[in-house]
């Protein structure tokens, strides 16, 4: 396909307090169907709430963390939550749970936790890096 691009998406707005995760998901879906690639998704700042396995919206509302998780699995797209943003906001995987002796872990698969180096690498590798902010 002509002009096919590789994208890195950075989401900094949280679900239900901002529109960022759903706008990003709609963009990602449209990009794939137009023949582009999503190489990586990076959650930063309040965006890390998207990776929580404990979010439970009312049953008549769209479950954005679940939708994102399905989308990532379906297309085999790696997604990372920034470790510093995640720890500050109460999002931990098993490793961090053990390290800080916390009562639980709450990272939704297939999201992973890693440092800003993943973002730097994503910037470098992608043709375009797009940011989805919370605003306000």
CA–CA separation, 111 vs 68, rounded Å? 10
Q: Does residue 124 have an active-site annotation?
A: no
CB-based contacts of 81: which residues, under 8 Å, 6+ apart?
43, 47, 48, 50, 51, 91, 107, 111, 112, 113, 114
Q: Which is nearer to other proteins, 32 or 116 (CB)?
A: 116
Token pair 């998901």 is found at 25
Near other proteins by CB under 8 A: residue from 70, 73, 115, 125: 115
Q: Which is nearer to other proteins, 76 or 135 (CB)?
A: 135
Q: Is 130 in the site for other proteins (CB under 8 A)?
A: no
Please give the sequence-ordered ranges of beta strands (E in DSSP) within 15-62, or none if there are none. Answer: 37-43
- Count of residues binding other proteins (CB under 8 A)? 21
Q: Is 129 in the site for other proteins (CB under 8 A)?
A: yes
Q: Which is nearer to other proteins, 69 or 85 (CB)?
A: 85
Segment contacting other proteins by CB under 8 A, of 54-62, 68-76, 102-110, 124-132: 124-132
């Amino acid at each position: 396909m002509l002009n096919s691009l590789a994208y890195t998406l950075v989401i900094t707005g949280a679900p239900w307090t901002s529109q960022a995760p759903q706008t990003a998901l709609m963009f990602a879906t449209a990009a794939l169907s137009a023949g582009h690639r999503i190489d990586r998704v990076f959650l930063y700042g309040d965006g890390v709430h998207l990776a929580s396995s404990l979010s439970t919206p009312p049953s008549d509302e769209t479950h954005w963390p679940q939708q994102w998780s399905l989308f990532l699995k379906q297309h085999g797209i790696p997604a990372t939550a920034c470790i510093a943003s995640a720890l500050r906001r109460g999002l931990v995987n098993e490793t961090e749970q053990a390290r800080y002796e916390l009562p639980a872990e709450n990272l939704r698969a297939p999201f992973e936790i890693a440092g800003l180096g993943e973002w730097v690498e994503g910037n470098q590798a992608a043709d375009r890096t797009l940011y989805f902010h919370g605003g306000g």
